[in-house]
Chain A
Amino acid sequence: DTAVSQTPKYLVTQMGNDKSIKCEQNLGHDTMYWYKQDSKKFLKIMFSYNNKELIINETVPNRFSPKSPDKAHLNLHINSLELGDSAVYFCASSQEGISYTFGSGTRLTVV
């Protein structure tokens, strides 16, 4: 029973398309996150939501729009995909910022 699950695992799409990545956690955590890992392996936070409320938005282009329908779900929608969006996107959840659990990642390739 996966604690943080994100789908799809792989996503290959053409420039200009719109795509979504879904994330769900069954840990009862209050906070969820999206992280981006670039080709140099650097992990950087994009967004965090606490109980469906946007808390952190780290200078991410507004083509990226997170949506949290409830505290167990945080989806990421990306409009007009660009080559530079190619990366691995990790969803995570946390309770009180003390422990963090990560999903297995979504490898997005824009061609």
Chain B
Amino acid sequence: AQKVTQAQTEISVVEKEDVTLDCVYETRDTTYYLFWYKQPPSGELVFLIRRNSFDEQNEISGRYSWNFQKSTSSFNFTITASQVVDSAVYFCALSEGAGGGNKLTFGTGTQLKVEL
């Protein structure tokens, strides 16, 4: 069964600090997809990134970067020089294999608070 663990319930930082959100996953499949979503106070789920299990290259998008390590089953997310607008709940999620019977399993989320 697939499982996603986000051990950090809540993180508070001061603006401009770097922050890393941890994500550990469990799956028996060799083909799977990992995701990060942002949920701002307005409530919608904003897609940030998708990674497939065969691509371990790290990814950078502006102030956001992701570190995917299959050896430790982790897919961590770093925000560099955090801003108040980054305050949100961040979800890591896993989808096994490919096909119509799949589902997205979410971690419990990490509430990030960025203060001035």
Contacts and interface: CB of A to CB of B under 8 A. Distances in A.
A90 B45 contact: yes
B100 A102 contact: no
A31 B45 CA distance: 18
Interface in B34-54: 35, 37, 39, 43-45, 47, 50, 52
B89 A97 contact: no
A98 B33 contact: yes
Interface size class of A (residues with CB under 8 A): 20 to 34
A51 B100 contact: yes
B27 interface: no
Q: Which of A45, A51, A102: most chain B CB closer than 10 A?
A: A102
A96 B35 contact: no
A100 B35 contact: yes
B44 A102 contact: yes
Contact of B100 (A43, A44, A55): A55
Contact of A104 (B43, B50, B100, B104): B43
B50 A41 contact: no
A78 to B, nearest CB: 20
A30 interface: yes
B106 A43 contact: yes
Contact of A92 (B89, B101, B104): B104
A97 B95 contact: yes
Interface in A8-52: 30-31, 33, 40-45, 48, 50-51
B108 A41 contact: yes
B77 to A, nearest CB: 17
A55 B101 CA distance: 6
B103 interface: yes
Interface of A: 30-31, 33, 40-45, 48, 50-51, 55-56, 88, 90, 92, 94, 96-102, 104-105, 107
Interface of B: 33, 35, 37, 39, 43-45, 47, 50, 52, 89, 91, 95-106, 108-109, 111
